Amino acid sequence: MEGKADAGELYEVVWTDAEIYDRLRSDDVMPNTPLRAAGDENTLPSAPARYEILSRVGVGGMGVVFKARDRETGEIIALKVLKPEIADQPFLMENLKNELRLARRITHKNVCRIYDFSRADGFASISMEFVQGESLRNVLNRFGAFTTRRAIKLAGQICEGLGEAHAQGIVHRDIKPENFMIDESGNVKLMDFGLAHLLKEGSTETVGTPSYMAPEQAQERSYDQRADIYALGLVLFEMFTGSAAFAGDTPIAVALKQIGEAPRNPHDVEQTVPEHIGRAILRCLEKDPQQRFSSVKELQAALIDDSMTTQKNFPVRPKFSSIYLVDVLKAVREKRKVLPTTLGLVVLAAILVTAVITYRTTKNKQEPAPFQNAQSIDSEEEWKTFLKNYREEGHLSLAAQERSPQLQTQTVAVNASRPAPLSETAPASAPTDVSAPPAKQRPNWRTLFDTVSIRSGVFMRGKKDGKKDAKPRHRVRLDGFQMTRSEITNRQYMTFLEETGHPRPKDPAFAKNYLMDYPNLPVVNVSYQDALAFCKWASAKFGITVRLPTEAEWEYAALGGKKDLLYPWGFESPSSRARYKENVSRRVQTVERTAFRPNGFGLYNMSGNVSEWASDFYSKDYYSISPVRNPTGPERGARRVIRGGSWADDETQLACARRASRDPQERSDQLGFRIVLMPSIPPGRP
């Protein structure tokens, strides 16, 4: 499993309640005394006769958690032995018993099971399921966002577990990454029902973590299971994008933003997030509980089926409502504990400023992002998707209806005129069997790849005063294509490895566990054959043509729509424009896509970082015989072209026109690749 913890690590369930926790932290209630009979760290304490203590795995504010064996059943369990200062207070014990009665109702594979509360041999203890694994927070901190496929799988399990709790009438009230555990099998378990309780009508008790509180919780208004759905939306935002929906210097600052600011669209933060998932997350984060999903079951369905979040089913996001500002002012006036009193003026100022900004943003509404996305990609498939979801968008809908037939005509012409590269030629389609069942719908390629639409055009390839293999400079005409914005990342390559079992690349010399610990950096140590295998896998998975760029396509893309440039950005020194020999780090040599500004087409790291495989065979004399239209390189050869230069090269290797080659079996920590997609010409389409 990704991020599997060492055997000694165990997520601790800490039983807390806001009021009780404050009392426990006060010096007169909870002095810093050791656990009775605990001894030093290397000495295991005595324990209730029923349990054999195996090891200590965690310490919390209320006690110590041990890995233990139940002598009666033989099971390995987690045993929380409470501190004497807590165990000796009847009101605390009664509170814990009430919490346990509720938590024990939940028997679900995605919820950590609570077994028993016992008081014997001078100890008060809670026994629970022992979960070997790691918290979701630790995994997110190490890897950033999950792949879309994995995130959807984990989100489904979270919804299953939380849904079971809600079905029992229990609201968790403290949903956050720290309270989810991923076990050795990759399954999620919901932890810590210490804050949860059977929700009573009109409950307004403020508990939870401020940076994951729903607005109604922070404002001490009544709430229900939809407060959990809001918090889950914040967790999903992090899982899919690798970033928090709201950022601030303190948890209180984050809570303020959640009351008064609209969240960012997840798709704008991480463009590989599918639009329908972005809409589902935003619906979770609605300020008004009435506008959220009414159940986690609805949310779970929306993450899988994009029709659940189309405009017909997705509520219109309201303008900033004065109700939230009024509620906060009312709470301050009534001296309710929405926020610490000393922050009163800051709270009011922040909310007022946020209201003005949000109002102006709403007022200056532009064309919807789906329309802009369809314009950028400009494919028949994308326009049809827009029409399906936004048919009532007036003049935008009419524009889409006019553009789709035009592209259909162009696609027929392209299919007839453009040959595919020899090494990536798609297999012939099988005859259609009208009696056969309909093919299973393939996943959308946008869940994994963020691409730029490169328009067709003419450019001058080569360099008049360059090396011999870059001469003669000649005119080339190319059809349009789509290219990934950056090199294929470790995260994307891991998806390929997980689904195919393809051999894993070795770590580069500059970083251990590179593939797992640096998901957003470009994959390295991949040969031409490895890159080709990736393309064939993606073609089959998504039902589109995925291939390496031709050498001509790569150079045209690197120029970014400009003429006669030395580098993708112009003629300036690469010192602040690309990762190369003169500015390479002493630690990890490669960089993420946003480390430097993109070129004119919006492509990142076309020069430096890693050299990139092209589909062409290499020949030093090819330019003298290259065809004018869509050249694909020599028909045969011993080496393949690489382009762009790497972190180990000097600035002369970074020029757009500079050519190089490698053996197709070679692997190096300076070699990676990016891909070209042809979604409007899927392989096998008649």
Residue type, 29: V
Length in residues, the chain: 686
Task: Provide the token pair at 555.
Answer: 């150079």
Shortest CA distance to 493 belongs to which of 648, 667, 346, 351? 667
Do 285 and 175 meet the contact criterion of CB atoms below 8 Å apart? Answer: no
Query: For residue 187, which of 109, 75, 300, 113 has the smallest C-alpha distance?
Result: 109
Query: How many angstroms separate the CA atoms of 60 and 111, rounded?
Result: 21
Question: For residues 5 and 183, what is the distance between their CA atoms, to the nearest angstrom?
Answer: 9
Separation CA 522–CA 591 (nearest Å): 8
Tell me which DSSP letter residue 522 carries: B
Helices 225-241 and 296-304 cross at an angle (nearest 10°) of 30
- CA dist., res. 345 & res. 659, Å (int): 62
Residue 462's identity, in one-letter code, is G
- Nearest CA to 273 out of 168, 116, 369, 151 is that of 151
Q: Which of 22, 27, 70, 174 is catalytic?
A: 174
DSSP state of 309: G
Could you tell me the maximum CA-CA distance found in the chain, to the nearest angstrom?
91
Cα 365 to Cα 368: distance, rounded to the nearest angstrom: 8
For residue 384, what are the CA distances in angstroms to 22, 396, 397, 600?
57, 13, 10, 28
Three-state SS sequence of 132-154: CEEEHHHHHHHHCCCCHHHHHHH
Whether 174 is a known active-site residue: answer: yes
Number of helical H runs and strand E runs in the chain:
20, 20
Encoding tokens for residue 239? Answer: 């899982």
Alpha-carbon span 663 to 656, nearest angstrom = 21
Asked if 496 contacts 502 with a C-beta cutoff of 8 angstroms, the reply is yes
Peptide bond into 472 cis (omega under 30): yes
180 and 158 Cβ atoms separated by less than 8 Å: yes
Question: Would you name the residues annotated as active-site residues?
Answer: 174
